């Protein structure tokens, strides 16, 4: 919740997954890196989020970081589509992170990122005076 968007990647990736380009075609002039409160990434998220919420996610992904209402609507959309069921089932913080970050932080992929996220979670809980569980 500290930044509106990730810094554009310096790698060759624009977060366009070719597997989904038939259904969610990428705009060659756009990149689908993390934007908004939940850092939504990839064309296969920007496309359906835009369709559901009412903005052109594939041709104007920057809307997620430039329009506060769209930004939080995409966060809610992403949460409902990808993470809500695990949360409601009581699967805990780890399952929520898996739903939000996938393989990039799970199964030992990036132990430092996992530790940093857990530390932030505990810190936010402390500041809000709630039990981290």
CATH code matching the domain that covers 1-89, chosen among 3.90.180.10, 3.30.300.30, 1.10.10.10, 3.30.20.10 = 3.30.20.10
The pLDDT score that the predictor gives to residue 133 is: 77
Helix 68-78 to helix 43-53 angle, to the nearest 10 degrees? 110
Q: Where are the alpha helices (DSSP H) in the chain?
A: 43-53, 63-66, 68-78, 84-88, 92-101, 111-128
CB-CB contact of 43 with 15 (8 Å): yes
Question: Residue 9: which pLDDT band, with cuts at 50, 70 and 90?
Answer: low
d(CA 16, CA 60): 14
What per-residue string of b and e applies to 40-77 under the rule 16 or more CB within 10 Å gives b? bbbbbbbbbbbeebebebbbbbebbbeeeebbebbbeb
Higher local confidence (pLDDT), 6 or 80: 80
| pTM for this model (two decimals) | 0.78
Domain ranges of the chain: 1-89, 92-133
């Amino acid at each position: 919740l500290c930044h509106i968007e990730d810094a554009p990647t310096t790698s060759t990736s624009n977060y366009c997954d070719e597997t989904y380009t038939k259904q969610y075609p990428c705009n060659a002039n756009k990149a689908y890196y993390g934007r908004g409160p939940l850092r939504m990434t990839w064309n296969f998220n920007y496309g359906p989020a835009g369709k559901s919420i009412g903005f052109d996610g594939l041709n104007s992904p920057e809307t997620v970081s430039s329009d506060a209402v769209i930004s939080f609507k995409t966060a809610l959309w992403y949460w409902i589509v990808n993470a809500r069921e695990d949360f409601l089932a009581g699967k805990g913080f780890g399952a929520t992170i898996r739903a939000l970050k996938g393989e990039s932080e799970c199964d030992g992929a990036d132990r430092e990122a996992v530790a940093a996220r857990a530390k932030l979670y505990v810190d936010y809980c402390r500041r809000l005076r709630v039990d981290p569980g």
